[in-house]
Amino acid sequence: MSAITDYFTAPSDAAAATALDDGPIDPVQAKGVDPIVSLNRLESVLTGRTYDEITAGLRRGSLVAVNDDGDAYILTVADELRDALAGLDAEGVMAAARAWAIDETVEPSEESVPFLAALAELATGAVHRGDRIYCHMVI
């Protein structure tokens, strides 16, 4: 069973933590898009930095909040990924989806392009507002 991952924006970790109980507002929904491994690989594709360089950075899947049952989490998404996504146009989304699929060693999915387009739109709004991106994950 894959985790349910919803990506959303918030102005701070404290504000993001409220989504643990209330659920995120206007999330980009995904099933099984790992907020650490998959998004670090996506960041590598978008920035040209190595996976090791990226994983050494801050705010990559850092725990913000966890529910009492231990099956729901709020995790951070790197600001560098947010910024790289915000700079994508439609052509950039297509190229990123193809490269990401290769990096993930899976066939490109019909869902990868719409997911990346929605994530890029979410990132653009976050940059304009000065927000960060978070993942609400339920396992």
Mutual angle of helices 112-129 and 90-103, in 10-degree steps: 120
pLDDT at 107: 46
| Separation of alpha carbons 46 and 84, rounded Å | 6
**Domain-wise residue ranges, the chain:** 4-138
**Over its length of 139 residues, how does the chain's per-residue pLDDT go in tens digits?**
578 899 999 999 999 999 998 889 999 998 778 899 999 999 999 999 999 999 998 899 999 999 999 999 999 999 999 999 999 999 999 999 888 877 555 444 567 889 999 999 999 999 999 999 999 999 8
| Separation of alpha carbons 94 and 82, rounded Å | 17
- Sheet containing 72-76: which strands, arranged edge to edge? 28-31, 4-10, 132-138, 72-76, 63-66
| Separation of alpha carbons 101 and 128, rounded Å | 28
Say if CB 74 and CB 22 are below 8 A apart: no
Reported pTM: 0.92
Residue type, 53: E
